[in-house]
């Protein structure tokens, strides 16, 4: 009805405005998925803006894209859960070389600078790459993959396929999977797939992270400092 059409128009305008603000960064496409955290009900869904998109028939909520830094919060949450780190723990942000298939892996930060010893809180909040790789080395690639699979990321390869680059988001994921994983942070570590229509049966929630780890990561991500 009119309410649905109004919602679609609102989402389309919001997406187009966001894309316009990012045009100078060569961003041309986007999608929107709005989900109620507590229930998992999808309240809004837009696969692309339908106008200026470069892929008119691609649903951006289901298309797989390389994750990048957006998986780092789950890596640190796992390290907190395993009591390998706390937000105050110091992690070394200095040049690092690691053996990798085909050569040597040398992660660098986005700004191409190193900061020496930093807290885990600062490393996550600043999305530093080298500390993330060191944290993955602490928790283990298999353990991190197990957590991601438990949070609904369904198309992950083996640990050998990724190596240390998994810390920096070399896995291909969907927006829908990502939304549900971040809902677990909002819901005290409980993972439950979202549902697109009211007649879909809800899956039972699964505790994938401790409430304490979920709280710590959410606190770091919400810190404006």
144 by Cβ neighbours in 10 Å (0-12 / 13-18 / 19+) ranks as buried
The pLDDT of residue 80 is 98
- C-alpha–C-alpha distance, residues 176 and 136, integer Å: 24
Confidence label for 62 from pLDDT (cuts 50, 70 and 90)? very high
Token pair, residue 208, equals: 């994938």
What confidence category does residue 171 fall into, taking pLDDT thresholds of 50, 70 and 90?
Answer: very high
Pure H helices in 66-210: 72-81, 120-125, 129-139, 141-150, 159-162, 175-186
Categorize the per-residue pLDDT at 223 as very low, low, confident or very high, splitting at 50, 70 and 90: confident
pLDDT digits (tens, 9 = 90+) for 185-197: 999 999 999 998 8
- Whether the Cβ atoms of residue 96 and residue 133 lie closer than 8 Å to each other: yes
Q: How confident is the model at residue 3 (pLDDT cuts 50, 70, 90)?
A: low
Supply the pLDDT for residue 1: 65
Write out pLDDT tens, residues 115-127.
Answer: 999 999 999 999 9
Q: Please tell me the least confidently modeled range out of 33-42, 105-114, 166-175, 209-218.
A: 105-114
């Amino acid at each position: 009805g009119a309410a649905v059409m109004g919602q679609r128009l609102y989402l389309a305008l919001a997406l187009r405005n966001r894309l316009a603000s990012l045009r100078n960064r060569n961003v041309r496409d986007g999608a929107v998925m709005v989900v109620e955290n507590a229930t998992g009900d999808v309240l809004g869904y837009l696969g692309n803006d339908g106008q200026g998109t470069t892929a008119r028939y691609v649903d951006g909520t289901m298309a797989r894209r390389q994750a990048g830094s957006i998986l780092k919060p789950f890596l640190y949450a796992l390290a907190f859960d395993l009591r390998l780190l706390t937000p105050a723990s110091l992690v070394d942000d200095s040049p690092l070389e690691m053996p990798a298939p085909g050569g040597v892996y040398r992660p660098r930060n986005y700004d191409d600078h190193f900061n020496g010893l930093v807290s885990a809180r600062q490393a996550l909040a600043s999305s530093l790459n080298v500390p993330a790789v060191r944290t993955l080395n602490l928790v283990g690639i298999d353990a991190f993959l197990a957590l991601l699979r438990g949070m609904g990321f369904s198309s992950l390869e083996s640990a050998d396929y990724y190596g240390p680059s998994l810390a920096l988001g070399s896995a291909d994921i969907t927006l829908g999977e990502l939304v549900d994983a971040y809902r677990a942070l909002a819901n005290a570590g409980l993972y439950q797939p979202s549902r697109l229509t009211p007649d879909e049966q809800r899956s039972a929630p699964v505790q994938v992270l401790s409430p304490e780890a979920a709280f710590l990561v959410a606190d770091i991500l919400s810190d404006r400092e």
